[in-house]
Structure 1
């Protein structure tokens, strides 16, 4: 039983995680970044897509080593480094005038992301575990993702009007200042150390053991692959191609945020409803709904060329909002604390490696055949490849069932905590 001061300190990590996530996910660049690079810097969609490839590759190679940093030296340390790097990277991004400098700032942003990725949810889960509340992780993590999405919604509503009233650069620099406010929040967090943590593994041992655990277990392998496939299929249409699609339908810069805000609101609602979705559909049923929904929405955007079909972007956002809390919970229930951030980082490696492949292909398809073709490409990929990876994960679950016993009744647990 923890003393009351320690218990309160760990419980306070919940609201501090909420605030940290909000501040680091408040990018005023969100509604304007593609148009900033295209109109202010003169890049084509293909150039913009290729600009992201080194970012995804850096994340791919740095994710697991920085996850091991979080496990070895502390999740709080990792979050501090991440928030400081993020603020600097965004500031440089706003004043960069050359392709090379924008590339460098992108790489710094990617490195900042890797220090945060996995460390934030690992700290949240372990803080709850220290006070005996790990059963509430699905609900609290759903709120965490919803609040991060709320930050993005806020940025969508503010970023475009600020850029229209001032300049792209002013909006981006203001965003960097807001990101920097996450640094004192990370400093105020209490590091949750497990009882065995006083005997720390060497860094390279932590790194190797975490990778070995993730790669040796089919349950994790196929779940990582499924998540990795769905990520670019859902994220690329929303982040890379939604703004050009809106511009092609004569949406002014000042109104971009208003069009994208309902899409972000859908993502918030779905993150909050993740527990209800699992309660009603079951874990597997909810997973099946994700690639099917992405396919239907992408096919609608490919076939119907009217402004009102922008509602399909909201359907993609529903998938994105459900995806992360659902996968986070599935993974966290299957791994041990001491290597939690490292194993979670392996998932991020998978999805970013696939993003590095998918984004330039998507940019080339869009420039050559048009936006409707790229929406169809991602729709078919999500259904065929995502569905295949999901089927393999279900088979691995069934094969592992005799050893693990019946699966937990996640639906009733989550529903009772809502």
Structure 2
């Protein structure tokens, strides 16, 4: 677990997080082009999630994580020299494939490692604390990233690549799951893996859940694109009065976002024990979506809404991952979890594309409010047909059934 936490700390992209959209705008891209790039990531994630999850189930979750880290480092280095839209498409593609190699395997590795020790019930707590460690590291790197950007716009990318590269030897030192100890891996064929995914994602206990939480995660992902320009607009007068570069202020603000998210993630297990997954998943997204609508008419509320959005996302991701892990059998775990990530990507693509058009036409605040309103309407419609979270005892999907 110590090595797992070390890997989480070294897998942060905190150096580039507070300045990424500003960097892309400075390189001459429009909001629509940035949204298109985000959509490219979402599409590639959609296409690549199940194949890379299957690779994780075949070659081992740890090896899949190593491949992910190598691809992400390559992408980060490429941003130093990229100038054209096609170059950014290539780098986004590398980033997307890197994400798919990690999206199911990291959760599957942790769940199976804990299950081998008879501690699968601790998944939400450990996963949440791991994410908290990652965000804690990001607090430091985000502040540094804003300052580095003010000195040299490419410096945050060099720093992020170096830190992520350090995570590769840490990953290689982590133990393999028991099924991969002899190098054989779990022996699901491609056809069996497809059957596991089909049975898992069509079950009522998971189908509506994936639609509901996937839409919320999509709203958060799409809104994150506009946090930087909205924040600059809200704080511009104050920053100008102090004579402080906006980029440096963004680094501090993003550190605050991440600190709040880290606290929420750390206590995900506590909240789950106190409220239960059902109440937390049903009510937290609705409250946050409502908060995102308000800044369209009262811009000063934007920053508190962004803090709430980051905290809710950090709180719910370990719960959602635990809910899915409890209902998926071991051999196809990474494949099914990758399929869930694929479903999330499908849901966020139209949000991202529509948001870029709205932001160019009416401004980023209007786009963010539109995301919140879309979720509220969709949640109300979905709730009329089925509960997003099904109560009852979990059960894995048997590989051979």
TM-score above 0.5 = yes
Aligned to 2:31: 45
Residue deviations 1:209-253, cap 9 Å, x none? 33222233121111111121001212222x200100122231511
Deviates more, 1:193-202 or 1:47-56: 193-202
| Distance change >3 Å, CA 391–CA 350, structure 1 → 2 | farther
| Distance change >3 Å, CA 391–CA 137, structure 1 → 2 | farther
Which segments of structure 1 move beyond 3 Å, counting only runs of 4 or more?
194-200, 386-393
| Distance change >3 Å, CA 259–CA 150, structure 1 → 2 | same
User: Contact 2:278–2:390 (CA<8 Å) still a contact in 1?
Assistant: no
User: Contact 1:68–1:206 (CA<8 Å) still a contact in 2?
Assistant: no
Give the whole-Å Cα distance in 2 for the aligned partners of 1:288 and 1:315: 16
Whether 1:313 and 2:315 are equivalent positions in the alignment is no
Residue deviations 1:10-60, cap 9 Å, x none? xxxx22222212212234110111010101x11111111111111110011
Whether 1:208 and 2:202 are equivalent positions in the alignment is no
Q: After the TM superposition, which residues 261-280 of structure 1 pair with which residues of structure 2 at under 5 Å, given as runs? A: 261-280=255-274
| Distance change >3 Å, CA 125–CA 97, structure 1 → 2 | same
Superposed displacement of residue 346, structure 1:
1.1
Superposed displacement of residue 397, structure 1:
2.5
Whether 1:26 and 2:26 are equivalent positions in the alignment is no
Give the whole-Å Cα distance in 2 for the aligned partners of 1:392 and 1:147: 39
Superposed displacement of residue 155, structure 1:
2.7
Q: 1:55 aligns with which of 41, 47, 50?
A: 41
Q: TM-score, normalised by structure 2?
A: 0.90
Superposed displacement of residue 389, structure 1:
4.0
**Which structure's residues are more often helix, by fraction?**
1
Deviates more, 1:117-126 or 1:199-208: 199-208
Q: After the TM superposition, which residues 193-232 of structure 1 pair with which residues of structure 2 at under 5 Å, given as runs? A: 193-194=178-179, 200-232=186-218
Give the whole-Å Cα distance in 1 for the aligned partners of 2:218 and 2:137: 21
Aligned to 2:70: 84
Q: Secondary structure at the match of 2:332?
A: helix
Q: After the TM superposition, which residues 299-310 of structure 1 pair with which residues of structure 2 at under 5 Å, given as runs? A: 299-306=293-300, 309-310=302-303
Aligned-residue RMSD, C-alpha: 2.2
Superposed displacement of residue 341, structure 1:
0.6
Deviates more, 1:198-207 or 1:338-347: 198-207
User: Contact 1:65–1:207 (CA<8 Å) still a contact in 2?
Assistant: no
User: Contact 1:303–1:372 (CA<8 Å) still a contact in 2?
Assistant: no
Give the whole-Å Cα distance in 2 for the aligned partners of 1:149 and 1:350: 25
Give the whole-Å Cα distance in 1 for the aligned partners of 2:215 and 2:388: 18
Q: 2:128 aligns with which of 137, 142, 150?
A: 142
Whether 1:324 and 2:302 are equivalent positions in the alignment is no
Whether 1:118 and 2:104 are equivalent positions in the alignment is yes
Q: Secondary structure at the match of 2:390?
A: helix
Give the whole-Å Cα distance in 1 for the aligned partners of 2:40 and 2:186: 33
Q: After the TM superposition, which residues 243-392 of structure 1 pair with which residues of structure 2 at under 5 Å, given as runs? A: 243-249=228-234, 250=236, 251=239, 252-306=246-300, 309-389=302-382
Superposed displacement of residue 405, structure 1:
8.9
User: Contact 1:226–1:390 (CA<8 Å) still a contact in 2?
Assistant: no
| Distance change >3 Å, CA 195–CA 350, structure 1 → 2 | closer
Give the whole-Å Cα distance in 2 for the aligned partners of 1:88 and 1:219: 39
Q: After the TM superposition, which residues 226-241 of structure 1 pair with which residues of structure 2 at under 5 Å, given as runs? A: 226-237=212-223, 239-241=224-226
Gap runs ≥5 in structure 1: 1-13, 407-418
| Distance change >3 Å, CA 195–CA 52, structure 1 → 2 | closer
User: Contact 1:233–1:382 (CA<8 Å) still a contact in 2?
Assistant: yes
Q: 1:97 aligns with which of 69, 73, 83?
A: 83
Aligned to 2:167: 182
Aligned to 2:116: 130
Superposed displacement of residue 142, structure 1:
1.0
Superposed displacement of residue 387, structure 1:
4.7
| Distance change >3 Å, CA 44–CA 395, structure 1 → 2 | closer
Q: TM-score, normalised by structure 1?
A: 0.87
Give the whole-Å Cα distance in 1 for the aligned partners of 2:134 and 2:196: 27
Q: 2:93 aligns with which of 91, 107, 112?
A: 107
